[in-house]
Structure 1
Amino acid sequence: FRTVVVLKGKFRSSAKGTILRKGLVIVQFTVSLTLLVATFVINQQVKYMQSVDKGIDMDYVVGFRRPMFTNENREGLKEKLKQFKQSLSNHHAIENVGFADALPGGEGSDISSTTGEVQIPGKTNIMEGTTYMQWCDEGYFAAAGIRLLAGRNFDSKISTDTSAIIVNESFLKRLGVQDINSVINENIQYGDDEEGHKYRLIGVMKDYNRTSLKSKVEPTATFYHTYASNSVIRLNKSNYREGITHLEKTFEGYFPNTPLSYSFLDERFSALFQEDRQFGQVIATFSALAVIVASLGLFGLSAFMAINRAKEVGIRKVLGASIPQILIIFYREFVLLIGLSSLIGIPLVYYGMDGWLNNYAYRVDFPWVFVVIALLVVAASALLTVGYQTIRVAVKNPSQALRYE
Structure 2
Amino acid sequence: MLLNYLKIAWRTLRKQKGFTFINIFGLATGLACCMLIMLYVLDELSFDRYNEKADRIYRVQSDIKFGGNDMHFAVSPDPIGPTLKKDYPQVEQFARLHQEGTWSVKRTGEPTNLREDNITFADSTLFEVFTLPLVSGDSKRALAEPNSVVISESAAKRHFGNQNPMGKTLVFNDRRTFKVTGVMRDMPKNAHFQSNFFLSMLNDDYTWGQWLSNNHHTYILMKPGTDAQAFAKNFDTVIEKYVGPQALQFIGSSMDQFRKAGNSIGFWLIPLTDIHLHSKQQVELAPNGDIQYVYIFSAVALFILLIACINFMNLATARSANRAREVGVRKVMGSERQQLIGQFMTESVLTTILAMLLALFMVGLALPGFNSIAAKELSISQLASPYYVPLLILLPIVVGLLAGSYPALFLSSFQPITVLKGKVNVSFRSAGLRSGLVVFQFMMSVILIVGTIIVYRQITYIQSKSLGFNRDKMLTIYGVYSIGNQAESFRQEVLKLPGVVNGSISGYLPTPSNRSDNSFFAEGQSDMNKGVSMQSWAVDHNYVKTMGMKLVQGRDFSRNFGSDSSGIILNEAAVQVFGFKNPIGKRVWRYNDAQLKERKTFTVVGVVKNFHFESLRRNIGALSMFLDSNSGAASFRLSSNDLPALIKQIEAKWRQVAPGQAFSYQFMDDSFNQLYRAEQRIGTIALTFAVLAILIACLGLFGLAAFMAEQRTKEIGIRKVLGASIPNLIGLLSKDFLKLVLIAILIATPIAWYMMNQWLADFAYKIEIEWWMFALAGLLAIGIALATVSFQSIKAALMNPIKSLRSE
Q: TM-score range by the shorter chain?
A: 0.7 to 0.9
Question: What is the deviation of 1:385?
Answer: 2.4
Map 1:123-162; keep pairs closer than 5 Å. Answer: 127=530, 130-155=533-558, 158-162=561-565
Structure 1 residue 92 displacement after superposition? 4.2
SS at match of 1:216: coil
Q: Quote how far apart the aligned CAs of 1:17 are.
A: 8.8
Partner of 2:374: none
| TM superposition shift of 1:56 | 0.9
TM-fit CA distance, 1:122: 7.2
Specify the code of the residue in structure 2 equivalent to 1:103.
Answer: L
More displaced stretch, 235-244 vs 50-59 = 235-244
Structure 1 vs Structure 2: percent identity of aligned residues? 29
What does residue range 190-229 of structure 1 map to in structure 2 within 5 Å?
190=590, 196-229=599-632
Q: Would you say 1:85 and 2:491 are equivalent positions?
A: yes
DSSP 3-state at the match of 1:13: coil
Deviation at 1:304, TM superposition (A): 1.0
Q: 1:43 aligns with which of 444, 447, 456?
A: 456
Structure 2 counterpart of 1:113, from 506, 512, 517:
517
Bigger Cα displacement from structure 2, 318-327 vs 273-282: 318-327
* 8 A Cα contact 2:575 2:583, kept in partner: no
- 1:252: Cα distance to partner? 1.3
Can you list the C-alpha shifts for 1:270-325, whole angstroms capped at 9, x where unaligned? 33332222211111111111221111111111101111111222233334433333
Letter in structure 2 aligned against 1:357 = L
Change (3 A) 1:128 1:30: farther
Relative distance call for 1:84 and 1:324 in structure 2 (3 A) is closer
Rounded to whole Å, the distance in 2 between the matches of 1:63 and 1:124 is 41
What stretches of structure 2 of length at least 5 have no aligned partner?
A: 1-336, 341-408, 416-424
For 1:205, give the aligned amino acid.
V
Q: Secondary structure at the match of 2:603?
A: strand
| CA apart distance, 1:240 | 5.4
Which residue of the partner structure matches residue 183 of structure 1? 583
2:748 alignment counterpart: 345
Cα gap change, 1:123 to 1:309, in 2 (>3 Å): farther
> Structure 1 pair 155/93, CA: closer, same or farther in 2 (3 Å)?
same
Distance 1:281 1:152, change over 3 A: same
CA shift for structure 1 position 25: 0.5
Shift of 1:238: 5.6
Choose 46-55 or 383-392, whichever is displaced more.
383-392
Distance change (3 Å), C-alpha of 1:313 and 1:153: same
Q: Does 1:8 align with 2:421?
A: no
User: Is the contact made by 2:481 and 2:487 (CA closer than 8 Å) also made in structure 1?
Assistant: no
- CA distance in 2 between counterparts of 1:340 and 1:201 reads 62
Aligned to 1:400: 803
Classify the secondary structure of the residue corresponding to 1:22.
helix
* Contact map agreement 2:538 2:630 (CA 8 A) in 1: no
Cα displacement string for residues 105-137 of structure 1 (whole angstroms, at most 9, x for unaligned residues): 226xx31223x4643547999645641221111
Distance verdict in 2 for CA 1:86–1:336, change over 3 Å = closer
Of residues 509, 516, 522 in structure 2, which corresponds to 1:103? 509
8 Å contact kept, 2:480–2:487: no
For 1:307 and 1:342, locate their aligned partners in 2 and report how far apart those are by CA, in whole Å.
27
**Aligned counterparts, 1:52-71, within 5 A:** 52-68=465-481
Q: Say which SS state the counterpart of residue 209 (structure 1) adopts.
A: coil
Q: Tell me the TM-score normalised to structure 2 length.
A: 0.45
TM-score, normalised by the number of residues in structure 1: 0.86
Q: Is the 8 A contact 1:119 1:126 kept in 2?
A: no
The CA deviation string for residues 222-267 of structure 1, in whole angstroms up to 9 with x for no partner, is 1211343221122343675565333212221112132110111122
2:788 paired residue number: 385
Contact 2:520 2:532 in 1 (8 A): yes
The amino acid that maps onto 2:517 is S
Please state how far the C-alpha of 1:19 moved relative to its aligned partner: 2.5
Equivalent-residue separation in structure 2 for 1:64 and 1:204 (angstroms): 27
CA distance, structure 2, for counterparts of residue 78 and residue 378 of structure 1: 62
The farther-off stretch of 128-137 and 283-292 is 128-137
Partner residue, 1:277: 680
Which amino acid is the alignment partner of residue 675 of structure 2? L
- State the partner residue of 2:637: 234
- Between the two proteins, the alignment pairs up a number of residues equal to 392
Distance across 2 between alignment mates of 1:141 and 1:385:
58
Q: Which deviates further from its counterpart, 154-163 or 356-365?
A: 154-163
> Structure 2 CA distance, aligned partners of 1:343 and 1:389?
26
SS at match of 1:183: coil
Deviation of 1:159 after TM superposition, in Å, equals 4.9
Helix, strand or coil: the match of 1:286? helix
Indicate yes or no: 2:786 matched with 1:357: no
Quote how far apart the aligned CAs of 1:93 are: 3.7
